[in-house]
């Protein structure tokens, strides 16, 4: 089995678990690929990864069976950009903090590997959002799992985002920005801006303004079959756009359109996983210090 390992950094208390993961994969004679930047960190903390091959680009992951994301949700989102159109199944191993996406605790890495080799798992496919523009903004990796965002720069004044759905005018958002979120991203940036929680399996996009000037403007749910396009007005010559954790400064006249991506992210769902339980645990639902 060919397995890619993607990560950034982690705390020292996770070292034994990660070393155990590599040792276990070696004992199963897995073919291992390690992300180049991650390999530098592994060398620094003394983890032995058994002469694994190194990759630095998604095109080097051809015929990969699984991609393990080691870290938190930010690392998982970065891993999605490497899994890409090949739809490499993703397993999120949580050595971070929140873990909406990286749902496998580090203590259960070996159980997860065993489940993969025994095929006692299933896949959950998640919708991605795709960006079209008249500029090449993200080197061809123009999709995201959580959201696409349009934002003002630094301490500049608010921007105006003229928004259209399938060519029909919707609204002009006077705000610090606008988020177009997938259902998966409803627990991310959109949630912090007052957006609703949406089940991952629903076929929707969420339009959430960031600090809107008009208080009667609220988040809106639209079908993910919609094509959303934007025209920006700003006092500055540039504004920011982002796809998950990747951001770019672009000129005001840049043409931007988002739609549902043609392919999906394929996430490994292990036995015992429950989305509602994850919500309760991560959002502290039902937690009351009085009880």
Catalytic residues: 73
DSSP letter for each residue of 191-246: HHTTPPP--TTS-EEEEEEES-SSTT---EEEETT--EEEEEE-SSSEEEEEETTE
C-beta neighbour count of 48 within 10 angstroms: 12
Buried b (16+ CB within 10 A) or exposed e, 108-133: bbeebbebbeeeebeebebbbbbbeb
DSSP per-residue codes, 80-93: HHHHGGGT--EEEE
Place of tokens 């399938």: 166
Say how far apart CA 38 and CA 19 lie, in whole Å: 14
Residue 150, beta-bridge partner list: 178, 241
What sign results for the dihedral spanned by CA atoms 36, 62, 145, 67? negative
């Amino acid at each position: 089995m060919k397995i890619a390992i993607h990560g950034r950094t982690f705390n020292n208390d996770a070292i034994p678990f990660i070393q155990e993961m590599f040792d276990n994969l070696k004992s199963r004679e897995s073919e291992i690929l390690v992300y180049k930047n991650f390999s530098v960190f592994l060398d620094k903390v003394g983890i032995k990864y058994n002469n694994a091959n190194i990759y630095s680009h998604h095109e080097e992951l051809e015929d990969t069976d699984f991609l393990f994301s080691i870290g938190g949700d930010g690392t998982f989102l970065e891993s999605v950009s490497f899994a890409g159109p090949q739809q490499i199944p993703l397993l999120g191993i949580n050595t971070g903090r929140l873990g909406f996406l990286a749902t496998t605790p580090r203590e259960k890495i070996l159980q997860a590997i065993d489940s993969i080799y025994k095929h006692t798992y299933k896949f959950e496919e998640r919708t991605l959002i795709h960006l079209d523009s008249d500029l090449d903004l993200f080197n061809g990796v123009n999709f995201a799992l959580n959201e696409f965002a349009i934002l003002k720069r630094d301490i500049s004044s608010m921007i105006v985002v003229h928004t259209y759905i399938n060519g029909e005018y919707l609204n002009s958002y006077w705000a610090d920005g606008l988020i177009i979120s997938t259902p998966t991203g409803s627990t991310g940036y959109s949630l912090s801006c007052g957006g609703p929680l949406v089940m991952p399996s629903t076929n929707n996009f969420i339009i959430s303004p960031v600090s809107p000037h008009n208080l009667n403007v609220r988040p809106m749910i639209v079908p993910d079959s919609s094509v959303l396009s934007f025209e920006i007005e700003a006092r500055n010559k540039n504004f920011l756009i982002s796809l998950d954790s990747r951001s770019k400064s672009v000129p005001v006249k840049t043409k931007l359109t988002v739609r549902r991506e043609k392919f999906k992210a394929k996430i490994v769902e292990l036995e015992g996983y429950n989305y509602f339980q994850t919500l309760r645990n991560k959002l502290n639902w039902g937690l009351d210090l009085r009880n």
